[in-house]
Chain A
Amino acid sequence: MKFSPRIYIITLLMLALGAVPLIADSIDEPFYTVLFSRMLILSIGAVSLNLILGFGGMVSFGHAVYLGIGSYVVGIGTFHAVEDGVEWMGNGFAHLSIAVAVSALAGLVIGAISLRTHGVYFIMITLAFSQMFYFIAVGSENYGGDDGLSLYMRSDFSGLLDLSNDNSLYYLNFAFLLASLYLSHRLTNSRFGMTLRGTKSNEQRMKSIGFPVFRYRLVAFVIAGAICGLAGVLSSNQTDFVSPAVMHWTRSGDLIIMTVLGGIGTLFGPVIGAVAFLLLEELLSGITEYWQLFFGPMLVLIVIFARGGIDGMLVALDRWWLQFSLKKNTKVD
């Protein structure tokens, strides 16, 4: 098989991500495990967004709402588990299934209304809906309201996994990332995925060849929401905290940036984008307190110049390498 720099780099990235806790432990900097853990969680969020944005062409500006739902399921659950002694509400499996179910339901309701609109209306409505949920969270005084809620405990996986160990949590996140990547791979190459791609490419044509476009989009929307809800569960475990800020609309913006930065409509793009985004954020904020002054324009420039995102650049790298190695071989002869 021909050598492809792109595949090489992506493989390296995934292996590196897998090895982070080991490396962090060996240099005694557990901070890195936490940092990269966050990357994994947001990668899952970006993978789910990529399904509807990258492959389906639906610019949803309210995707962080599912992170919020997942987070609050854990927050509310563990709150009552500890405060009221209702043990099952602290159970991790309960958190996962309830978060997925509620997120799917929310996706169904939001999608059913939003997907009847197009273009800028769709963007604004998804934004408005996520604000609605944001305000519900702000208004829930019992669960901390605007200040949020500290978690008394992490999700209890009854002996299978001890999430209070940061490394265990890391590998749980990593496992879910791999699972969501695989799911994304299968979904986007299936008939269902082809329908999504076609709808993004030319909606009018899809309708005229006989596809009832709305229902496929809605299902995709629900699936994306469910996966992101799962990421939300992991997120609150990671930070031991939940607050409305998790689903502030700027978080939805961050998810879009990660997805586009990595390369929309590609499998590993979201992961690359999330890692790049958070690394950049980490680096820049270390240099100057006014890092957003640079980050902002950087985004603008990326949008203008780097179509196809980082993955697009890797594809170009592949092409360059191919030409380069062909030239090298002919020279030798």
Chain B
Amino acid sequence: MNWILLLEQTLNGFQFGILLFLLAAGLTLIFGIMDLINLAHGSLYMMGAYFAATFTQWTDSFLLGALLALPACMLFGVILERIALRTLYTRSHLDQVLATFGLILFFNEFVRLIWGPIGLDIPLPELLSGSVELFFGIRYPAFRLVIIAVGIMVAFLLYLLVSKTKIGMLIRAGASNRQMVSALGVNINLLYTLVFGLGAALAGLAGMMAAPIMTVEIGMGEGILIITFVVIVIGGVGSIRGAFVAALIVGFIDTVGRSFLPDILGLFVSNDIADTAAPAISSMLIYILMALILAIKPQGLFPPKGA
């Protein structure tokens, strides 16, 4: 049993889970409060990566690039919300699915038009390109540790925001009773725009942190979007706590599962069969997990009250 590999992959799993959490938190907030299914959330992730790549190129500094990209994403999200998404709040989910699907097509082409069809490369920032020595003499890439750290910090900040601030209270109230909140005289439009902007910033943050370690390319949002959906469904739509727990579970199972499945399978069947079946089954793992959880709890692990 390769314990070092297990530890490494566990950390990788957490890191992936953190990225998923950033995406899922925004998506689940937006759904919980505005009742909006946004398929284009993956596009926000993609824009985060592309903005970061471009600003990094211009400023020659990843840190500056990221700092510029973050508000750019938020602005981008706000503009998108005002122009295209506002009309969808009162529409059926089917209409929302169709409209945001159209947006995905648009954004993918838009990116192709401006940045070209070939993906971009962001090199790891020099400061963080090395590895750090953890316990037991294991080395782990510094950048990935930063991702985990940033993610946990954001999760904590979100927790503070939602449970301790007035805005957070509005968000929680809005999640369970939309009409009540607007009847209380709160500017619902502004609240929605802010929430969407927050979601866009989170997605963009995930995108820019993922950029140096994954490929920045057109359509990069769609693959991770579906996994994000799985996370939300498992966690309970509308629940940030659920998104956090589910994201870590999914990240862990997907990453560790992929590396260790051939070995685990090899315990039961011949190595040949294990090697052929493993890739297919590892891709399926999180969906099987989702199906199992839904069979027992159809509303996810932490459905928000009043749902």
> Bound pair: A and B?
yes
Q: A residues within 8 A CB of B276?
A: 141-142
The number of chain B residues touching the other chain, given as a range, is 35 or more
Main SS at interface, chain B: helix
Contact of B283 among A61, A123, A139 (CB under 8 A): A139
- Smallest CB-CB separation from A257: which chain B residue? B98
Instruction: Tell me the chain A residues, 268-320 only, with Cβ under 8 Å from chain B.
Output: 290-293, 295-300, 302-304
At the interface, yes or no: A22 with Cβ under 8 Å from chain B? no
At the interface, yes or no: A117 with Cβ under 8 Å from chain B? yes
Known contacts A113-B294, A120-B237, A304-B87; A299/B98 CB under 8 A = yes
Instruction: Tell me the chain A residues, 131-152 only, with Cβ under 8 Å from chain B.
Output: 131-132, 135-136, 138-142
Shortest distance between the CB of A282 and any CB in chain B (Å): 16
Instruction: Tell me the chain B residues, 26-50 only, with Cβ under 8 Å from chain A.
Output: 31, 37
Main SS at interface, chain A: helix
At the interface, yes or no: B287 with Cβ under 8 Å from chain A? yes
A292 close to B283 (CB less than 8 A): no
- Smallest CB-CB separation from B278: which chain A residue? A139
A136 close to B102 (CB less than 8 A): no
Known contacts A125-B233, A128-B226, A296-B105; A135/B294 CB under 8 A = no
Known contacts A117-B298, A139-B279, A260-B94; A128/B287 CB under 8 A = yes
B98 close to A121 (CB less than 8 A): no
Known contacts A59-B97, A139-B280; A131/B226 CB under 8 A = yes
Contact of A125 among B87, B105, B294, B299 (CB under 8 A): B294
Query: When each residue 96-117 of chain A gets 1 if its CB lies under 8 Å from chain B and 0 otherwise, what string results?
Result: 0000000000000000010011
Known contacts A113-B294, A135-B284, A299-B99; A292/B87 CB under 8 A = no
A binding-site residues for B, Cβ under 8 Å: 53, 59, 61, 113, 116-117, 119-121, 123-125, 127-129, 131-132, 135-136, 138-142, 249-250, 253, 256-257, 260, 290-293, 295-300, 302-304
What 6 additional pairs, Cβ within 8 angstroms, besides A113-B291, A140-B280, A296-B109? A113-B295, A132-B284, A142-B276, A295-B102, A296-B106, A300-B102
